[in-house]
Amino acid sequence: MRKMNFPLVLLSSMVFIAGCSSSSDGDTQGGSEEREINYLSNRTANQGQPRIVLPIMEQYQEENPDVSLNLETIEQSDIVQRIQLLTASNALPDMFVYESAQLNDLIAGEYIVNIENAFEEADMLDTVRPAAIDLMQQLSGTGEMYAVPMELNIEGFWYNKEIFESLGLEEPQTWDEMMEISDVLLENEIQPFALAGQDRWPITRLINAFAVRYYGVDAMQRVADGNLSITDSGFITAAQTIQEMNDNGYFGQGVNAMDYDAATGSFLTGQSAMYYMGSWALGEMNDENQNHIGGPENIGFFNVPLVEGGEGTLEDYMMNAGLITVFSQAGFDESTRDWFEYLYTHYADHAMSEHGMVSGLATSVEPEEDDPLTQLVLDELEQAESSALWFEATFNARKQELAETNAQQLIGGSMTPEEFMGALED
């Protein structure tokens, strides 16, 4: 019997929900069985993943005219509650996006497809990048892959090549070297880092980067499993290091008032020399109206440097897959399975050729010659042996909010590193 672990309050407040249930039974018209595959996303037909998926369905329909895709778009903030309600009424969409940290109940109740098995049965598992498999396995918390890596972003430090070259600086291999570079930049009246403190998560990303280099790529998973305490000395040192970086002036004045656009603008106008961010920012870096530092050719990238005595390696990368995509068990019939194989045979090439988007699936298409940053990301992915979760990936909603809110107090000096980590202890 399937286990239902969702909050009872949702069950008691369940309302009639139409439009998302699987149409796997099909309708018979003119002797053929029609199949409408329901797809729930936070993006419209012209955005994100649907802008790639829908044209592939049109291509698929040339040989399979009785199969169609019904896209429904809802706000990202509503996704978790909507899926919980649909699960309770046994009406999950056939494929849908979901928050990666909320998969446990869907997996435990056997509501969603084991994607790793599905790829293996389709003889396609070798088309998934190893680092993407590692990331998806960590996100499921089961050691198996339950979501398709339709997006894959690496995170690390982007830097202004011209500034580095003018001061004789080289990409740092250690965190200490990165701090020495920061001092040189300050001496030359250049802000070392752009940081969107107002958005809060960029602060915890830096804390996480240091902690992962100290404890290794599975740092936050070990915390989630109870094998490592968030108040251990390495986490305290991580928080202390980021606090000291702000105390030293590395992030400039008023960092907690700087949002994502302002931080990106600081880097792309040459006001700051380094920027910790994910590769989702390539759009801004490639935009000639935003990039005023000589175009994408003047931007370099280095992985998070090593820390003294740490277990992490330069082959470990901080990664992010955005909202994940899963398939419901109930809707994974023969038609959906055939669509699944067709979609992921073509998805990566369409994503790259049409939108320059990197996914967790291997592609046979090369980036455009005038897109060196996408090629850079692909080259880095080729070197990646394993991936690390972001700081809040395994936190519940309360701890996620606590971590991000307190991060501002930490770098502002009103909270000690011990208090910051102590507040996150169960």
Q: Which structure tokens are listed for 219? A: 């740092």
Which parts of 198-337 are beta strand (E)? 272-278, 299-302, 316-320, 324-327
**Torsion region of 306: left, alpha or beta (phi above 0 gives left; psi -120 to 50 gives alpha):** beta
**Torsion region of 211: left, alpha or beta (phi above 0 gives left; psi -120 to 50 gives alpha):** alpha
Element (H, E) at 139: helix 130-140
Task: Please give the share of the chain, as a percent, with pLDDT higher than 90.
Answer: 69
Query: Higher-confidence residue: 12 or 266?
Result: 266
The pLDDT score that the predictor gives to residue 205 is 96
- Return the sign of the alpha-carbon dihedral for residues 85, 91, 93, 96: positive
The pLDDT score that the predictor gives to residue 184 is 98
pLDDT surpassing 60 at residue 17: no
Note the pLDDT tens digit of each residue in 225-239: 899 999 999 999 999
Rounded mean pLDDT of 322-332?
93
Largest CA distance in the chain: 78
Phi and psi at residue 38, to the nearest 5°: -90, 130
Note the pLDDT tens digit of each residue in 159-170: 999 999 999 999
The pLDDT score that the predictor gives to residue 382 is 83
The per-residue pLDDT of the chain, averaged, comes to 89
pLDDT surpassing 60 at residue 30: no
Tell me whether residue 308 is exposed, middle or buried, using C-beta atoms within 10 angstroms of its C-beta: 0 to 12, 13 to 18, 19 or more: exposed
Rounded mean pLDDT of 8-13?
41
- Residue 305 to residue 336: CA distance in whole angstroms: 44
Report the range of poorest mean pLDDT among 20-24, 189-193, 216-220, 318-322. 20-24
Rounded mean pLDDT of 316-337?
93
The pLDDT score that the predictor gives to residue 32 is 59
The pLDDT score that the predictor gives to residue 280 is 87
The pLDDT score that the predictor gives to residue 301 is 97
Phi and psi at residue 161, to the nearest 5°: -60, -40
Residue type, position 137, single letter: Q
pLDDT surpassing 70 at residue 212: yes
Query: Higher-confidence residue: 138 or 161?
Result: 161
Q: How many CB atoms lie within 10 A of CB 302?
A: 17
Query: Higher-confidence residue: 282 or 58?
Result: 58
Element (H, E) at 399: helix 397-412
Report the range of poorest mean pLDDT among 178-192, 291-305, 367-381. 367-381
Phi and psi at residue 340, to the nearest 5°: -55, -50
Confidence of residue 24 (pLDDT cuts 50, 70, 90): very low
pLDDT surpassing 70 at residue 20: no
Note the pLDDT tens digit of each residue in 397-420: 788 889 989 999 999 999 999 999
Query: Higher-confidence residue: 59 or 398?
Result: 59
Confidence of residue 8 (pLDDT cuts 50, 70, 90): very low
Written as one string, the DSSP assignment of 370-397 is T-HHHHHHHHHHHH--EEE--TTTT--H
Confidence of residue 141 (pLDDT cuts 50, 70, 90): confident
Report the range of poorest mean pLDDT among 3-7, 284-288, 352-356, 367-371. 3-7
Q: Which residues of 67-92 are buried (b: 16+ CB within 10 A; e: fewer)?
A: bbbebeebeeeebeebbbbbbbeebb
Using the structure block, give the residue that is written with the tokens 């018979």: 28
- Residue 241 to residue 259: CA distance in whole angstroms: 22
